[in-house]
Amino acid sequence: MSILELVGVSKSFDGVKAVDSVSLDFSANKITALIGPNGAGKTTVFNLISGFLKPDEGYIRLKEKNLNGLTPFRIARAGIGRLFQDVRIFKEMTVLENVMAAFDNQVGEKWWVPLIEPFRVKKQEREFLQRADELLQFVGLLEKRDDFAESLSYGQQKLLSIARLLASDTEILLLDEPTAGVSPAMVPQILEVIISLRNRGKAVIIIEHNLNVVSEIGDWVFFMDEGQVTYFGLPADVLGNAEVRQAYIGL
C-alpha cells in the first residue's frame, strides 16, 4: 500500500519543464530507486517532495494528507526526511551534537524551558543521549562521537547524515545518491544500513547512478528522462530494458 504519492506533478523553470506530469507512489518496507540521466528531474522530484520547491501542477500526498504548500520543516515533521547529495552535516559541531540536534520534540528547544524547568530538559537529554549512542553504533560511528563532524571522511559524513536522519524518526527517507563520492570500501556498509532501514519498515527512496547498487538493494525502480517517468517496475526488468540502457548509459 502506498504511503506517499505524487499525482500529475509538474515543475518548470523559465519555461523549461524539469518535471512533467509525474505520478509516483512509494510504499513502506520498500527501497524504491529513482534513476535516470543527469537533468532527468530526479533531484527536482526530491525538492518537490520535501517542500523546497512548490509544484506548479498536481499534488503530493502523504497518507492521504496533501503536502502542497507546506514549508520544508512542516513536511519533515509530517514524516519525510532527506539525505542531501552534498551531505550538509553541521561541520563545526561534534558527531554526537549532529545527532542530538536532530531529535524531534525537544522541550529544551524553547529557550525559556531550560531556565524554568532544567531537570525536565536534563531528563530528556539523557534519553536522547542514549538513543544517539544507539544510532551512532548502528551506523558504526560510536567511537567518533566526540570528534568534530568536519574531521570525518566523506563516507563517514554520509553515515552521520543517515544517523541524523534516523534521529528525526521519519517514516519516509529520501536519500539523494547515498553512495556517490564514497570510497568503494565503505559502500557495502552504507548499503547494509539502507537495507536494515527498509527492514525496519521505512519507505526508502533513493536517487542512485550506480546501477549495481540499484539492482542489489532496489525493490522497485522508476526511470526518469526529460522530466517524465518513462519506465517503472522491478530492477531486473527496468535495468534490462533496451531503451532504458540506451537512454541512460548509451548501450
Q: Which residues of the chain form contacts with another protein (CB under 8 A)? A: 50, 52, 71-73, 76-77, 81-82, 84, 88-93, 97-98, 100-102, 104, 106-111, 113-115, 118, 121, 125, 164-165, 168, 170
Closest CB to another protein among 59 and 84? 84
Closest CB to another protein among 113 and 142? 113
Closest CB to another protein among 84 and 220? 84
Hunting for cell 528525526 — which residue is that?
168
Residue 155 CA to residue 185 CA, distance in Å, equals 9
Taking the complex as a whole, the smallest distance from the CB of residue 142 to another protein amounts, in Å, to: 19
Closest CB to another protein among 99 and 182? 99
Taking the complex as a whole, the smallest distance from the CB of residue 92 to another protein amounts, in Å, to: 6
Closest CB to another protein among 61 and 77? 77
177 CB burial (10 A radius; 0-12, 13-18, 19+): buried
DSSP calls for 101-150: HH-SS-GGGSTTHHHH-HHHHHHHHHHHHHHHHHHHHHTT-GGGTTSBGG
The conformation of residue 151, written as its DSSP 8-state character, comes to G
Taking the complex as a whole, the smallest distance from the CB of residue 182 to another protein amounts, in Å, to: 18
59, 66 contact by CB (below 8 A): yes
Taking the complex as a whole, the smallest distance from the CB of residue 66 to another protein amounts, in Å, to: 18
Closest CB to another protein among 115 and 242? 115
Hunting for cell 530528556 — which residue is that?
124
Taking the complex as a whole, the smallest distance from the CB of residue 116 to another protein amounts, in Å, to: 10
16-27 sheet: strands from edge to edge: 16-27, 2-13, 57-62, 65-66
CA atoms within 13 A on the CB side of 163: 31
Closest CB to another protein among 113 and 186? 113
Taking the complex as a whole, the smallest distance from the CB of residue 77 to another protein amounts, in Å, to: 4
Taking the complex as a whole, the smallest distance from the CB of residue 50 to another protein amounts, in Å, to: 6
From residue 143, alpha-carbon distances to 13, 134, 152, 162, 167 in Å are 45, 12, 12, 16, 18
Residue 141 CA to residue 134 CA, distance in Å, equals 10
User: What SS3 class is residue 239?
Assistant: helix
